[in-house]
Structure 1
Amino acid sequence: MGASPTRRRHVGIAGLVAATLFHSYAAAQDADGSAAESLGALDAPSTERALGPISVTGAPLPGSPLSQAADVDIVDSDAMEAQGASNLGEAVDDLAGVNSISTGNSVGKPVIRGLSGERIKILSNGVGVDHQQFGVRHMPTTDTFLLDRVEVVRGASSVLYGSSALGGAINLLPPDIAWDTPVEGETLTRYSTNNDQWDTGIKASGGNGRLGYAAGIVRRSAGDIETPDESTYFPPPPAERFRDAPAYTGQLGYTDFDQVNGDFALGYRDDDGGKWTARYSRFNDEHNFLLPPPAGNLPPAAGEEGVGQYIDNEQIELAGEKQVGSITWKPRLVWQNNRRRSNVAGTPRAAGFDNAIDIEFDQYTARLEGQHGPVLGLDGGTVGIEYVTKDQVSRGTTQLSPGGTVDNAAIFAFEEKGIGDLLLQAGLRYDHHEVEGEASKTANPSASVVDADKQSYDVITGSLGGIYSLTDRLSVAANVGRGFRSPSLFELYAAGQHGGVAAFQVGDPDLEEETSLNTDLSLRWASDTLRAKATVYRNTIDNYIFLRDTGETMAGLPVLANDQTDARLIGAELSIEADVSDAVTLSLTGETVDGERRDNGDELPLLPADSVSLGADFTPANEGWLRDPRASVKLSYYASKDAAPGEPFAQFDDAPFGSASTDDYYLVDLGAGFSPQIAGQTVHLDLAVNNLLDEDYRGFLDTYKGYALSPGRDIRLTARLPFGG
């Protein structure tokens, strides 16, 4: 825990969709440890920067980053904390092809290659979890401080994770138990100037060789965010030229939040090398969202209004790792309880819960994976079975998403075979998925829920990837993967006002499952001084589910109905890191994605704007008390972008104020830090300055863009004190 943090460390570990591997299996495959050590090579121009042996998600067998087929990036805990990330979206949005849908500082929903929400699978230690993703502002219920690292898998991942992994998967890995150390841990204190946010936390781990523990708790408390104090406008218009002016700037009321999140685990190691853990985690959040006028209870001239929301997520995981013969078995049992409550528009959280929307589910997952070595001429792989059952109730006065049940049973296999300089990886999976809306579990059911029949989907998915090593440093990889996603209870039976997006939303019980065919091709280079990756991809989705603007209104709000069409996404990503000296690293990332409906050519919603970023990291030699100095600067350019028809908040392009389409803009971010020893104890001190120039802009994936500016300058000061070890 006392190692000094460096620049943001995200390791480009390629791996196709398969099981999470652990280090003991890697050691069994490569007794001298070279395979495990090579996992850090792509981000480690020197041994001092190497991350050491790490577990990898998405590879049937461990190996060099250049010997895996699909893209996996890793962002570790040190990097997330040094940059001051306060949500999952912020932690990963510097990666090429990965973005974040934001709503103030409380919400960060990851976007992978233009897909988000129900099309990105969020995993907890390799097991899928849910956070009612149907809302564009519904953030994942996890805390970055309580994670060891985040692994981002790009591309269709249904072979391993089933429904909802059309665009990729994000695996959230908790800290490992320090089995042979009585105690090691870290305290965190952070202050963010923009919204007067304080983060305080502590985490620790230890053990006596056989028994072990890991625990952590963090509180985040924030006020309202600040935007540049520019001119505002709301009808009646003095002139047409003011039409795009935002309704609100400066301090945005009702953007505050308060969270207390925790995690606790107990572990046992048996005499035969098996590991068994029980883990409990909880995410508890209260926040306000600033509503667009006139979505609240008062006339717009009365000023800003908010809506209060309350989120509680609990999770228990029982997990094991045990080698029996030539197979390492990994059983998982997970229970998740998630409750989301929301007031009617115009009632903030300070007023208490008004019983408008109250949706709660219990989800149980049983998963068994077996990892094996060479068999039947194959080099090794993973086989597994999984069963998931979800029971949901809707108690509020507004139905929105109803009560009901969701069941999924699956069997899968993923194997690897090397032929000279060519490595092949292939997988196959079968899912039986059932969804049923139930009026008995819905307080105020709509007619479609009362008449609902059970919907069943039987889907076979597969993937085939290959990587060819042209030289010791250069390789080319190609992947073809089929993914699927079954309609959710919300998409089938939604009925009610969704205050967070200022619209009425309606389901369609006749929706079919989405199926996708994802292909990508990448060229990769890795050496001691240069890491580079260029990728192009194409993802075609049949029966793509989207919200269609019906042209009707209810209580002055647009009525959006779930509908289907075929869609296509085409994109490219580029990332380069070059060590120009022992102390200076230059970086370049760029991305573009185009997505459209294949029936009429309309653009798909919530695609990120094209962007390019140039960065420089400085790690000069230590200077006495100024230990491990570090600094960084990044210049980012985001292209202008038009809102897609029917996109959430697209109505502001036609309103007499605000805009859902955005202009191009530049942002400058700075970072600095060092790790002095104070009274013999190392302290990590980091400074992150976002939007240094206080730029007046609207981010395209900022859900406040329709009626407010994006956040202004934000200075985040972080102090971390490791202990024990």
Structure 2
Amino acid sequence: MRLKSPILCIGLSAPLYAQDIEHIEVNSYVKDYSPVSQIVVGKSVLSGELLAQQKASTLGDTLSQTPSVSSSFFGSSAGRPQIRGQGGQRVLITSNGMPIRDMSAISDDQLIPIEPFFAESITVLKGARATIPFGGEAMAGIVDVNDGRIPLQQEAEKEDKVEIQTGYNAATSLLSTLGGQQNDFAYNVNLLYREHSDYKIPNTAKAADCSNWGKLVLNSQLTSQCQVSLARPTWEHDGTKFVDVTPIDEQIITHQLANSANKVVNSSYYQTNLTFGGSQRFEHEQLFGLSVNYNAANRAIPGFIHPIREREHSHDTQQSNQSGNIRIYSSQYRIDALYQKQFSANSYLNQFNVKAAYSKQSDDENLDHLRVNKFILKNWQISPTLNYQFSEQFTGTFGLFIDQSEKQGSGNNNYLPDIKAKREAAYMMQNAAFGPLSLQLGARYEEVKYTPTINSHYQPGRGLGALVQNNKYDLFNHLVSLNWDITSFWYIAASLTHAERAPGMNELYASNPHYALLIEEQGNSNLKKESNKAEEFGTGLQFKNLSITANWYENNYDNYIYLGSTGVNRGGVYVKEWRQADTLNKGFEVELNYTLNTQNIGDFSFSAYVDETKNTPVYQFDGSYNPFTPEAFFNPDEAQMAEYFRRRLEGDSIPRTPADSYGAAVHWQFESFKASVDYQHNKAQQQLAKFEHASPSYYSLGANFSYSRSLFGFENEFFININNLTNQEIRPHQSYLRYLAPQPGRSIAVGIRAKI
């Protein structure tokens, strides 16, 4: 487990830090006018030496040290970032400012086809402000990976480097980045190969609750999540209720797949990633760039019983439990293009950009060499933006965005029909500075269309998702953000955002078992758009080498879309369906950073943080309504009835809300030596939905050491990275694999980085 540490990111909340943002993010021959750079409030940037220390095989793990960011964790090869307790369709992953279209937002077991090891910087924008340039998919924020695949640093020599890593319970990898420039043509080549065997853990793969008869016999959903079956229990009535009196010798728990000790079986993976990119400068401050990326992976999903539907006849479906190694063969190629025009001699125009991308992703899920699910996702998108200024104090951006996707699926476990999706949007952001006050206004209109098709590769199930129809949504977003530098060392910031999101593909059309999540997933084609009134307040103090920042946020969702319980078990998995109801997401994050520079023993950086988030249903009534009374039967109240069933099926929290956490870190550098120690504590999660069990608290300790030395004419850095130093059992509450596979135990990676 990697550790959250605010010293490893730059939390920015006001113009007071605008120069720091540009210093970290901008290393180009022109100023950065991208939409990512336009939003200042709620921004964290990871770059340089700290990014090199934190890079991991998944984007979620790479960012797990950033306050209010967690990983969905689906084995060592898949982990999607979650921001402030929200993930999936509310966190958008972008590459150099362009969305990455993949299936990871729909299913946590899917790989994000972007490589953190190539990143020059990773920017996290927290909060609904990001919906202005990026739409409703950024309701909770975005994660932008700047990997420089189209090189723009034409006035600076790009460093060629090679990195080799191996170790105990760690991935073995080879990374190479090469670049150069000939006159006005710049190019780069990135290559990575990585492999990891089944990873080691402190205890057993399954949680202790999966071997606890007393907990299993009273909770059939836990039995399903643990992939176990029980001998027939013995019940007696004690006068008020039935109690379990099964003799100990008859309390037999059968694991449908062996509960491996000290190792997670079938968790290995192999991965390659290759990128070619180039750009050419022309007269009149013009630039054209192009890049081609190919990513391929052979990944194992930690093992569990996988029921397969065998169609013996056209109208007859049987269910049989089969166990075996599940592997996903993934590949994606992506082409990015960029046209850029500067207007240095124009008083009113700054820059015009046109970005375009095309991608094709294929994922083939196999159970012991038998294909059970395959999908192909094709996407193209184009985004022109114009940056203008009326004066140095009044600047703005106008942008358009067009996106088209086509999803095709096949296999016995196909849970989605073929779907075509189209997004068209226009947005504007206007900045105004009045001395110590700065104001940002933003607005966006977006139209989203879905066109599903049922063919021979897909048969709808029996739930709401069986209703397959075209859908169209009109979305409006607007933003007001104010920043005030009260003094040279103290600022305050506030923002108010109205954001809207269209339901995702699976939220509308899923229908059939989704075995990767151990559920039957049912969408609902009648879902309305989701809206959010987002409020945020931040403040910060900086005295010489000490800085303290704090942010409070509150998101009031109308028609919040969530995956709700039904209590129904069908085909060996529990049925869950996508629903809508009002929900409140709120929390805070506080960070402290201090640097100490000495002449004799080096430079020190100290940091600490605390974050908290809550996701709670909003109930309008007192809960006294009972739909089963004669009065309610003859005169039903639909609003109170809906709330009655939500209270009993969902309870007082949204499922899988990440636990609150706090941590601290110390970093030291002296001459050629560097070292750091990080500590993170995740509290026990007591905010539970119905049918959820509390997750225990845990802590994790990590350390990094490096030594730089010139060898054979090259600048070399030898490093050791240790994660989960004390070998704790870590099962994040938000992970679907919480009961089946913990995070890796102690791992030690050793390697060398060489500049060539």
Q: What corresponds to 1:27 in structure 2?
A: none
Check whether the contact 1:254–1:305 (CA below 8 A) recurs between aligned residues: no
Q: 1:223 aligns with which of 197, 213, 237?
A: 197
Separation in structure 2 between the aligned mates of residue 258 and residue 147 of structure 1, nearest angstrom: 20
Q: What corresponds to 1:470 in structure 2?
A: 486
Residue 714 in 1 paired to residue 733 in 2?
no
Q: CA RMSD in A?
A: 3.2
Alignment of 1:217-256 (within 5 A): 217-229=191-203, 240=214, 247-256=259-268
1:210 Cα offset (Å):
0.8
Counterpart amino acid of residue 126 in structure 1: G
Q: 1:561 aligns with which of 559, 565, 577?
A: 577
SS at match of 1:286: strand
Residue 10 in 1 paired to residue 29 in 2?
no
Q: 2:135 aligns with which of 158, 162, 167?
A: 162
Check whether the contact 2:96–2:144 (CA below 8 A) recurs between aligned residues: yes
Separation in structure 2 between the aligned mates of residue 453 and residue 233 of structure 1, nearest angstrom: 41
Residue 590 in 1 paired to residue 610 in 2?
yes
Stretch deviating more after TM superposition (226-235 or 696-705): 226-235
Separation in structure 2 between the aligned mates of residue 478 and residue 89 of structure 1, nearest angstrom: 28
Counterpart amino acid of residue 541 in structure 1: Y
Check whether the contact 2:365–2:374 (CA below 8 A) recurs between aligned residues: yes
Output one character per residue of 1:606-652: Cα deviation in whole Å (capped at 9) or x when no partner.
Answer: 321111001111112x2xxxx2x111112211100147437xxx6xx
Q: What corresponds to 2:631 in structure 1?
A: none
SS at match of 1:635: strand
Residue 379 in 1 paired to residue 379 in 2?
no
1:369 to 1:636, Cα distance in 2 relative to 1, 3 A: same
Check whether the contact 1:292–1:502 (CA below 8 A) recurs between aligned residues: no
Output one character per residue of 1:662-718: Cα deviation in whole Å (capped at 9) or x when no partner.
Answer: 111222111111211112321112211111111234232344321343321111223
Q: What corresponds to 1:277 in structure 2?
A: 289
Q: What corresponds to 2:425 in structure 1?
A: 410
Q: 2:705 aligns with which of 658, 672, 685?
A: 672
Counterpart amino acid of residue 340 in structure 1: D
Output one character per residue of 1:489-548: Cα deviation in whole Å (capped at 9) or x when no partner.
Answer: 211111222221222111111111111111111111235412321111001111111222
Stretch deviating more after TM superposition (475-484 or 304-313): 304-313
Q: What corresponds to 2:159 in structure 1?
A: 184
Q: What corresponds to 2:118 in structure 1?
A: 146
1:242 to 1:540, Cα distance in 2 relative to 1, 3 A: closer
1:396 Cα offset (Å):
2.2
Q: 1:136 aligns with which of 104, 108, 115?
A: 108
SS at match of 1:373: strand
Separation in structure 2 between the aligned mates of residue 78 and residue 123 of structure 1, nearest angstrom: 22
Alignment of 1:9-88 (within 5 A): 9-14=8-13, 38-39=20-21, 55=32, 58=35, 69-76=40-47, 78-88=49-59
Separation in structure 2 between the aligned mates of residue 292 and residue 339 of structure 1, nearest angstrom: 23
Check whether the contact 1:403–1:441 (CA below 8 A) recurs between aligned residues: no
Separation in structure 2 between the aligned mates of residue 602 and residue 224 of structure 1, nearest angstrom: 38
Separation in structure 2 between the aligned mates of residue 221 and residue 362 of structure 1, nearest angstrom: 27
Q: 1:356 aligns with which of 360, 372, 376?
A: 372
1:451 Cα offset (Å):
6.0
Counterpart amino acid of residue 436 in structure 2: D
Check whether the contact 1:437–1:489 (CA below 8 A) recurs between aligned residues: no
SS at match of 2:79: strand
Check whether the contact 1:404–1:441 (CA below 8 A) recurs between aligned residues: no
Q: What corresponds to 1:205 in structure 2?
A: 179
SS at match of 1:589: strand
Counterpart amino acid of residue 498 in structure 1: H
1:91 Cα offset (Å):
1.5
Q: TM-score, normalised by structure 1?
A: 0.84
Stretch deviating more after TM superposition (304-313 or 99-108): 304-313
Residue 704 in 1 paired to residue 737 in 2?
yes
Residue 389 in 1 paired to residue 388 in 2?
no
Counterpart amino acid of residue 754 in structure 2: L
Check whether the contact 1:248–1:709 (CA below 8 A) recurs between aligned residues: no
1:230 to 1:51, Cα distance in 2 relative to 1, 3 A: farther
1:501 to 1:15, Cα distance in 2 relative to 1, 3 A: farther
Separation in structure 1 between the aligned mates of residue 212 and residue 584 of structure 2, nearest angstrom: 42
Output one character per residue of 1:397-449: Cα deviation in whole Å (capped at 9) or x when no partner.
Answer: 33312211111111110001112321100100111111121124954456878
Q: 1:634 aligns with which of 678, 692, 717?
A: 678
Residue 311 in 1 paired to residue 293 in 2?
no
Q: 2:668 aligns with which of 595, 601, 618?
A: 618
Check whether the contact 1:179–1:209 (CA below 8 A) recurs between aligned residues: no
Q: What corresponds to 2:365 in structure 1?
A: 342
Output one character per residue of 1:21-70: Cα deviation in whole Å (capped at 9) or x when no partner.
Answer: xxxxxxxxxxxxx9985436799xxxxxx999984755676xxxxxx751
Alignment of 1:300-699 (within 5 A): 305-324=324-343, 325=346, 326-327=348-349, 328-343=351-366, 347=367, 351-352=368-369, 354-374=370-390, 379-440=394-455, 442-444=457-459, 452-582=468-598, 583-599=603-619, 600=647, 602-620=652-670, 622=671, 627=672, 629-642=673-686, 644-645=688-689, 661-699=694-732
Check whether the contact 2:460–2:512 (CA below 8 A) recurs between aligned residues: no
1:593 Cα offset (Å):
0.4
Separation in structure 2 between the aligned mates of residue 634 and residue 296 of structure 1, nearest angstrom: 44
Separation in structure 2 between the aligned mates of residue 117 and residue 432 of structure 1, nearest angstrom: 20
Check whether the contact 1:225–1:251 (CA below 8 A) recurs between aligned residues: yes
Output one character per residue of 1:92-119: Cα deviation in whole Å (capped at 9) or x when no partner.
Answer: 1111111111123211210111111111
Separation in structure 2 between the aligned mates of residue 57 and residue 370 of structure 1, nearest angstrom: 10
1:368 Cα offset (Å):
0.6
Counterpart amino acid of residue 432 in structure 2: K
1:146 to 1:58, Cα distance in 2 relative to 1, 3 A: same
Counterpart amino acid of residue 405 in structure 2: K
Check whether the contact 1:102–1:108 (CA below 8 A) recurs between aligned residues: yes
Check whether the contact 1:11–1:75 (CA below 8 A) recurs between aligned residues: yes
Paired positions, count: 659
Separation in structure 2 between the aligned mates of residue 8 and residue 683 of structure 1, nearest angstrom: 25
Check whether the contact 2:67–2:609 (CA below 8 A) recurs between aligned residues: yes
Counterpart amino acid of residue 94 in structure 2: L
Counterpart amino acid of residue 496 in structure 2: V
Q: What corresponds to 2:83 in structure 1?
A: 112
Check whether the contact 2:704–2:719 (CA below 8 A) recurs between aligned residues: yes
1:412 to 1:53, Cα distance in 2 relative to 1, 3 A: closer
SS at match of 1:160: helix
Output one character per residue of 1:173-192: Cα deviation in whole Å (capped at 9) or x when no partner.
Answer: 12244535787311111114
1:442 to 1:374, Cα distance in 2 relative to 1, 3 A: farther
1:526 to 1:274, Cα distance in 2 relative to 1, 3 A: farther
1:242 Cα offset (Å):
9.9
1:224 to 1:639, Cα distance in 2 relative to 1, 3 A: same
Separation in structure 2 between the aligned mates of residue 73 and residue 680 of structure 1, nearest angstrom: 36
Q: What corresponds to 1:25 in structure 2?
A: none
Output one character per residue of 1:69-103: Cα deviation in whole Å (capped at 9) or x when no partner.
Answer: 51111112543332351211122111111111112
Check whether the contact 2:29–2:154 (CA below 8 A) recurs between aligned residues: no
Separation in structure 1 between the aligned mates of residue 43 and residue 386 of structure 2, nearest angstrom: 21
Separation in structure 2 between the aligned mates of residue 236 and residue 42 of structure 1, nearest angstrom: 47
1:137 Cα offset (Å):
2.6
Check whether the contact 2:720–2:751 (CA below 8 A) recurs between aligned residues: yes
1:452 Cα offset (Å):
3.0
Check whether the contact 2:307–2:322 (CA below 8 A) recurs between aligned residues: no
* Gap regions ≥5 residues in structure 1: 1-6, 17-33, 44-49, 62-67, 654-659
Q: What corresponds to 1:4 in structure 2?
A: none
Separation in structure 2 between the aligned mates of residue 409 and residue 236 of structure 1, nearest angstrom: 48
Stretch deviating more after TM superposition (574-583 or 405-414): 574-583
